[in-house]
Amino acid sequence: MKQIRIDSSKIDNTDRIRLFFPYDKEIVDLVKTIPGARWHPGIKCWHIATVYGPADKLNYRFHDKLHFVPRNNKIHFQGQTCKKQVTSVARSPDWNEKKILEEFVKTLKIRNYSPKTIKTYTSQLRLFILFFDDRNINELTGKDIREYLLHLIDKKKASCSHENQAINAIKFYYEKILGMEPETYYIQRPKNEKKLPVVLSEEEVTEILQKINNLKHRCIIYTIYSGGLRLSEVLNLKTKDIDSKRRMIIIRHGKGAKDRYTLLSERLVPMLREYYREYKPRIWLFEGKDHARYSARSVQEILKEALRKTRIRKKVTVHTLRHSFATHLLEHGIDLTYIQEFLGHSNIKTTLIYTHITRKGIDNIKSPLDNLVI
């Protein structure tokens, strides 16, 4: 008999019963038979109404299939008239999922992890908790953890990136929160997929830049390509981070909480001055409504709209401009160690990937087919 965890909560200001369980087609099919059952992509759970009828039907449909595990002691079904009621399976008294996740987030913040990493790790740990139903994850073994990772690979078809995120979150919890030694359990790291990044030619970058007319939009995209910035880095730029005299941009608290300098194009300087006079940013270099920091989605939309006006059919993202920046520097003979510094890579091996993309020297090499007289 399988188990499903339940609690009551407000979703969109409506009282709902939330259902948490590892993916199982049989359970999903049963849930779908309940009128008004809906999937919530943010919380990653199914939820149903608490009014009489659906709750009663939940018992009726599931009583011979599942045990129900209350996530707290406040859950109450209304109008239960079935012959067999919900079977409750309680966690151990010291278990409190909410407190565990709160402590997890607090420790990540103390260690200066980025908001994006905190969100990713917390989501991964929550999925890990849900997988083990009513078990206390503080009592799991290395064998249990490997079982979960095998589930991600075999059942969920998780990518190497997704699996690595799960491993990092799990390791952080056991080693940094519980203070366990790394050798307490063994996890086989997945092999990284050897994929080369998409890179634009200089002509393609030019075509994209020429399609952006709005001054602020133009400055944002120019700045990203000028210094090889990550999306989060351009959003976090402040007016004081532009050093026009030295033609440098300072990136504060970049990935890994590191500061670094990167390039500021001479062509970009007068454009930024014009932008400053017109928009008068207060704190952030690029601000949205009410002088709030510009949104990531807005930057993505700027690039998407520009691409729509071009003939480029590559799968281009904002990060593609960063890859293109590094590749173009390498093709113009800039030393790899400088490129490493501009990008903020801790390891030169990360920067070496661009040597597999550059066309430097390749234009002078002919295919043997070109030497044949046919």
2-11/66-70 β-pairing: parallel
Contacts of 61 (CB under 8 A, 6+ apart): 30, 33, 34
Can 322 be counted among the known catalytic residues? yes
Contact (Cβ atoms closer than 8 angstroms) between residue 6 and residue 67: no
Q: Which of 47, 217, 322, 323 is catalytic?
A: 322
| DSSP notation for 148-203 | HHHHHHHTS---HHHHHHHHHHHHHIIIIIS---GGGS---PPPPP--PPP---HH
Q: How many CB atoms lie within 10 A of CB 180?
A: 14
Please list the residues that pair with 62 across neighbouring strands.
none
Residue from 217, 230, 323, 328 carrying the catalytic annotation: 230
Name the active-site residue from 135, 146, 211, 319.
319
User: φ and ψ at 84, to 5 degrees?
Assistant: -110, 125
The distance of Cα 96 from the centroid of its chain, to the nearest Å, equals 26
Annotated catalytic residue 345: yes
**338 in active site:** no
Whole-number Å distance between alpha carbons of 117 and 115: 6
The active-site residue out of 217, 260, 323, 345 is: 345
- State the distance between the two ends of the chain, measured CA to CA, in whole angstroms: 72
Q: Is 63 a catalytic residue?
A: no
Residue partners of 372: CB distance under 8 A and separation at least 6? none
Q: What are phi and psi of 293, to 5 degrees?
A: -60, 140
Cβ atoms < 10 Å from Cβ of 25: 7
323 an active-site residue?
A: no
Strand partners, 2: 66
Selected catalytic residue, list 38, 255, 261, 293: 255
The 38-40 sheet, strands edge to edge: 38-40, 45-49, 14-20, 2-11, 66-70
List of long-range contacts for 33-41, beta carbons under 8 Å, 24+ apart: 33/57, 33/61, 34/58, 34/61, 40/11
User: Which residues are the active-site residues?
Assistant: 230, 255, 319, 322, 345, 354
